[in-house]
Structures are given as structure tokens and as C-alpha cells.
Amino acid sequence: MAALYDGQTGVRRDVEVTAADGMLLLSDASGGCKAIPAGELRLVDRQTGGITLMRPGHDGWRLRVPPPVDPAVDGLFPRRHGYGRWIDRIGPGRALLVFAALSAGVVALGFYAPVLLAPLIPESVERAYGNAMVGDFGGHFCRSAKGEQALARLVARLDPGAGDLRVRVVDLPVANAAALPARQIVIFAPLIRDAAGPDELAGVLAHEIAHVRRRHVTQAMVRQLGLGMFAATLGGSVGGNLDGLAQLSFTRAAEREADDDAMAMLARAQISPLATARFFDRVAGEDATTSLPGMTYLSTHPDPAGRAARFRRAGAGAPASPALSARDWQALRRICDGPPTG
């Protein structure tokens, strides 16, 4: 059975996939059948034996067909060179096993192996992995023109060259922010609502931008999940994005590096690090298991007390102005007031 995500509910549905007269037919257990013209679908991945499809104009829509794929279905989507000729020839799954074998050859390097291997991950694979992680949040992305403009101004102030970043707000009950593969960042709405002001959010966002710029996310996936997880994810085994994000953690060195970069960003933008220090003070006082529901920032970003001290030292006597105007901050806080979209 294939796994269908409709981009509205974020719930996986098992469907049987067949083809007839240029149409893809999706049948579910209730007896319902939906016909979609093959021309409305786009092949985003062809892992070993299986395919993954998206539907342009329907954000979050994903269909993952496991092997063996019906030849009639497979024939609707001609093979293309998506990752590079040799990867297309052997399939991303086997290609990732090659990367795993290479990683075994440098296992003696221990901690440094992920740092060396991360740049070897093809950008196309990283992009597919990132899209798989965020694609199933369909129906939960917050959309507000003024809120998105305010967020874009904050990102640009922190990282003037951030045109390649995609930062979005997700309306789910998790007080966290996460850097994802392929230069993507998600901020969960409770983190914005709970922030005492825009300067707090600026510090957290700067930290996540630093993780993206340093490719810490790719390093963490290689280190903790193994290269085989890339193949498993692309094969349709991503069952829970929130769990996947929570399982990713960075080394202390990476966290410190991201903090250093974040403080440098705040200094360049003349945003006070003291607000970030107060945020970490508050997080340090929270019990992640018994206090605020969904407060996972503590579990994914350890040692908040030590970080608060470092940001406090960095903020001593530094010139500063608010990260956002009062109007922009209110617009950003209301970004999820309208109907969410995919």
C-alpha cells in the first residue's frame, strides 16, 4: 500500500495505486477512488524500487509508493536525472549505502567524521529530506501578509544575506524552533506567543540560522540517525515530524559555535543579547516533563543556564535597539490568527 498525505490533516492514509488512461487512481479501504491526471503530479524522488510524488498547487501533498511499483504507474513518470547520473543509475538508497560505507572507513576519526561527511551529502538528497520533514505539516503553516513581512525583516536584520533561507511559523503546540536540512527553519507558534519581546525571538532565531549556515543539521543526522535514515525517510517511513525533530541534537561544540555566531549576529544587528539571556533563564527554570505542555526547547537545547550567562556577558554595555518595531512585533504575534495553510 502507498502512503498518502493530503496536505490538510497531516494524517497518513493507506491507498492502493493503479494507472489507467493517463490517470493515477487512488483507492482506499472505504471503497473510495480518486483519479488524478498524471500531468498534475510531479516526481520528486525515485528511491530504489519506489517513487515519491507531489502535487503542485497542493502544499504538503505527498504520495509515497513503495516497491514494487506497478509498471503502468511507473511508466507515467519517466526517469530523470534528479540527483546526478550515477545516483540515478543505482538509486538514492544504494547511493546512501555507499556513503555509509565511506563513513565506516573514517570511523577512527570519531567525533570529526560527521563534520567531514556532511559536505558529501548531495544537496538534492538534503533537499528531499528537508521537504519530507516539513511536507507533512500541511494545514498548519501560519499565513499572514503582515506577519510574514515582519518575520522577513527580522531574518534580514540578523542575516542580510538570508535570501536563500526559508523561515516559517507552524501552529502546533510545541514551544520550540528547529533548523532543518536545505536551509529551512520552522518556528512553532507557542515560542512566539511565550516570548517576552522580539529581542528574545531574535536570539533564538539567530541561533537556528547559525545551525543552518554551519550545516550542523546534516552533521547531526549523520551522527545520530546514520546515513541509512536518509534512505528510510525518503522511502516513506517518516511517521512523526515532531518526534524526528526532537531526536536530533547537536554536539556541545556545535551548540557553542551556534551561540557564538548568534551573538555575533545580534552584535552586528545591534540587538541586545540580554533578552536572549533572560529567555534562557526562564527555560532553565522550566521542568520539561511537568511544566508547560509541549515545552521541548529544554530537551533539544541543553545547558540553558550556562548559555544565559554567556549571552549576559556579551550584552554588557553593547549598543542596542529593538529587534522589531512595536507594530511589526504585534503583526508577528498574530501571524497564526488567520486560517492556517499548507
Along the chain (342 residues), what's the average pLDDT of each consecutive run of 10 residues?
Answer: 84 91 92 92 80 89 90 84 56 68 56 59 72 70 94 96 88 88 90 95 96 85 59 44 53 88 96 94 66 47 83 88 97 87 58
Taking the whole predicted model, whether its pTM rises above 0.95 is answered as no
How far from 184 is each of 65, 164, 264, CA to CA, in Å?
26, 9, 21
Q: For 328, phi and psi rounded to 5 degrees?
A: -65, -40
Residue found under cell 531574518: 155
Supply the pLDDT for residue 46. Answer: 76
Classify burial at 200, counting beta carbons within 10 Å of its beta carbon; exposed 0-12, middle 13-18, buried 19 or more. buried
Q: What is the pLDDT of residue 39?
A: 92
Cell of 119: 559536505
What CATH class is the domain 2-76?
mainly beta
Taking 3-state DSSP, the helix, strand and coil percentages for the chain, each rounded to the nearest 5, stand at: 50, 15, 35
Predicted confidence at residue 80, as pLDDT, reads 61
The span from the first CA to the last CA of the chain, in angstroms, equals 24
β-bridge partners, 321: none
Tell me what pLDDT residue 21 has: 92
H helix intervals, 68-197: 71-74, 85-90, 92-105, 113-117, 123-135, 145-158, 189-194
Q: What is the DSSP letter of 38?
A: G
Q: Which 3 state secondary structure label does DSSP give 261?
A: helix
What's the grid cell of residue 235?
A: 522511502
**Nearest Cα to Cα of residue 228 among 105, 130, 127, 95:** 95
Side by side, the strands of the sheet bearing 166-170 are 166-170, 184-188, 177-180
Among all chains, which residue has been given the C-alpha cell 503546540? 173
Judged by phi (left if over 0) then psi (alpha if -120 to 50, else beta), residue 234 lies in alpha
Report the helix count and the strand count for the chain, using DSSP H and E.
Answer: 16, 10
141 DSSP assignment: B
* Residues 83 and 74 sit within 8 Å (Cβ to Cβ): no
